[in-house]
Structure formats: structure tokens, C-alpha cells
Amino acid sequence: MPVTHADDTTFDREVLQATVPVVVDFWAPWCGPCRMVAPELEALAAEHGEALKVVKVNVDEAPGVAGRYGIAGIPTVALFRDGRPVAATVGAKPRRAIAAELGLDAS
């Protein structure tokens, strides 16, 4: 499934109402580590196909969502299942580490 984007107006539809688990990348374009994580998440999305959705949320353009989930540092990558955050990791990491910390099978 391709990586999509969400903001304060589309987050609920794209993430909370999704029928599959959603990995949310809280990021900003000025954040160097965020740019390092982006290709790792694209690869994770490709690995999991339709079984997983990856959504990017620019915290500068979606301050409401960032505030709602207490995002204090970026990149923060969170896993949502059934409309609830169930795991998160902060900082630039390789795909396998992100998958392990989120509890995803990244084989």
C-alpha cells in the first residue's frame, strides 16, 4: 500500500477509521532524522502490502493531531490498531528496528 499523508482534517479518516494497522510517521521537512526514516517506512509499507498502511503526518501542518498524541520529539513512529495507538518509537532507526519496536513481523 503506498504511503499516504494526513493532517488535522483527514487524520481520523486515514488512521483511526482504517481497517488495517496503521504506522504513523510524525515528521517535519526540516528534520534531518525524519528524512532518514522516510525510505525505511516506504520499504516497510512495500514489505507488508495491503496488510499495513503507512501515513505521514507533518507536525507543523497538523499541530492538533501532534498535540492530541503528545508528540514531543520527531521522528516519532507510532502503530495504531483499531483506532488506538498501541506502540511507538522515537528517533531515526533502520526498518528492522522500527518494525521490532512496533511489534510488527518484518520478515
The set of catalytic residues is: 31, 34
Cell 482504517, residue located: 18
List, in order, residues 6 or more apart from 10 with CB less than 8 Å away: none
Cell representation of residue 40:
525505511
Q: Which residues of 79-89 are buried (b: 16+ CB within 10 A; e: fewer)?
A: bbeeeeeeebb
